[in-house]
Chains A and B, each alone.
Chain A
Amino acid sequence: MKTLDIELPQMALLYGLCLLPGFLLWLIGLRLSRDIGIGVLRMSLQLALVGFYLKILFDLNNPWLNGLWILMMLLVADVSILRRAGLKVRYFALATFSAIASSILFSTAFLVILVIQPTHFYDARYIVPLAGMILGNCLQGNVIALERFYSALRKNENEYTTFLMLGATRWEAVQPYFRDAVKAAINPTIAGMATMGLVSLPGMMTGQILGGSEPWLAVKYQIAIMICIFTSTTLASIINLKLSLNSAFNAFDVLKNELIEKT
C-alpha cells in the first residue's frame, strides 16, 4: 500500500484554506495576517529544506553523514535549550551538550541496535527520524528542568543559603529544587503516556498508518518511541542539571546570578 501523493494544485488548495481562518480572525478584529503569512512561509521553507536534506541523506545513507546530521541537530538543540531556559549559552553549552548527546545516543542506539535491529544500525531511515523525535521531546523537558531549577534557586536563595549554613553540602542544599525541576521536566511525558490514544492518535503512529503500515506495527513503534523519549528526557534532565551546577556556582557555592538572564 502506497501513500497517495498530494499534487501541486491540491497543495495550492491547501494554502487557500488558510484564507478561511485568516478571514475569520480579521472579522473579529485580530490583525494577524502578517504573522500568519510569516508562519506559513517559514513552515513551508523550513520543511522544504529538511525534505531536501533528508532526500540526500536517505539516498546516500552514509554512516558519517548520518552522524553529522545528528551532531548538527544536537548542537542546534543545545543552543535552543539554553536560550529558552534563559541561561548564558557560553557557560552552560558543554554541560547541556554532554547531557543531551549522551542520553539521545544511548536511547537511539538502544532502540535501533537492540530493538529494531535493521541490517545496518546507521540506516538513515531509522536513525534520523527516531533520534530527531527523541531529541525534540527531550529538548522540551530540558528547557523546563533548567528554567524551573534556576528560577527556584534564585527565588529561594536565602533558603538555599540557610541550608548551607546548617551544614549542607551544595549538592544537599539544592536537592529540593533539583527534585522539583526533574519532576516538572518528566511530568508532561508521563501524562502523555497515560492519555495516549485516548485523547488523540499520536503523530508518529498516524504517520506510519498513512505511510501504509499495519496498525499493530504502528502501535509497537509508538510504544517504543514513547519509552525512549521518557528514558532520554529523564536521563538528560538529571545529567544536565547535575553538570550545570559546576558552571552556575562560584567556589564558595554562591549562585552566579549574572549567568541567569531571567527568573
Chain B
Amino acid sequence: MSPIIRFDQVSVTAHEKTILSDISFALFPGQKAVFYGKSGSGKSSVLKTVLGLLPLTRGRVYFQENPLTPASVQSIRSCTAYIGQEPILGAETVRDALLLPFQFKAHREHRPTDRQLIEVLQRLQLPVDILSQKSGRISGGEKQRIALARGLLLGKKLYLLDEVTSALDAESKQAVFDVFSDPDLTVLSVAHDPEWLERCDMIFGLEAGRLTQEKAT
C-alpha cells in the first residue's frame, strides 16, 4: 500500500523566516496523525503545505505518490477537507453553507438531498433547526462541526484538521471522535487536546519548524 501523503525533506520559508525545515513523513490510508508543539512551531503550516498554499523552498510533497504541482493541486484540494480553528462558512445561512460546494462545477452533480443533510447533522450532534440559522450567529464549535459536515457530504476521505476539538463540549467531541473512528478516513491534524492525541496512531512533535519526535502508537 502506498502512502496518501508523503513529505520528502520539505522546507518552507516565508518572508525570510524558516517555517518548516527538512520535514519527512508518510501518512497511509486510514491512519490518524497529529502534529503537536508550541504555537509558532509550524504545525498549521504542515497542513497548508499539503494544500499548496505555501511555496516549498526544498523537498517535495507527494499525494498518492504523485508530486504536488500546479497541475495536480486542484485534485488534491478536491479530495481533501480542511477544517481550521475558525472555519469560514462562506454563506448567509447554515443550509447555504452546507450546499456551497455543490455550486462549483466539481461537485454540481452530487447535490445532497434534505434527508442527507439531516442525517449528517444528527451524526455530529447538531440540531436540525440549525439549517435555517444565520452562519454568523452560530458558535465556534458549531461552525467547526458544520465545516466537518460539509466534508462528509462531499464524501471526502482525507481530513486536515486544525485544533478541531478546541471549541467542543464533551458530547460534541465524542461525536467527532466517532466520525473519525471510521477506518476509511485518513486524518492529518494539529492538536493540543490530550484526548485527541490519544486517539491518533501517529504523533509528531514540532519545534521551530523541525520534527523533534515521531511516535507510532
- A residues contacting B by CB (< 8 A) are 158-159, 161-169, 172, 250-254
Contacts and interface: CB of A to CB of B under 8 A. Distances in A.
B105 A252 contact: no
A257 to B, nearest CB: 10
A162 B88 contact: yes
B100 A161 contact: no
Interface stretch (B76-84, B121-129, B185-193): B76-84
A164 B85 CA distance: 17
B53 A254 contact: yes
Q: Top 5 A-B pairs ranked by shortest CB distance?
A: A251-B70, A167-B106, A166-B101, A252-B52, A167-B78
Contact of B105 (A158, A159, A172, A254): A172
Interface residues of B, number: 25
Contacts of B82: 162, 165
A160 to B, nearest CB: 9
A166 B150 contact: yes
Nearest to A251: B70
Interface of B: 51-53, 55, 70, 73-74, 77-78, 80-82, 84, 87-88, 90, 100-101, 103-107, 150, 154
Contacts of B53: 161, 252, 254
Contact of A162 (B87, B103, B107, B154): B87
A165 B77 contact: yes
A163 B80 CA distance: 12
A250 B80 CA distance: 20
A167 B55 contact: no
B88 A164 contact: no
A167 B88 contact: no
Nearest to A250: B55
B90 A167 contact: no
A165 B51 CA distance: 8
Contacts of A168: 101, 104, 106
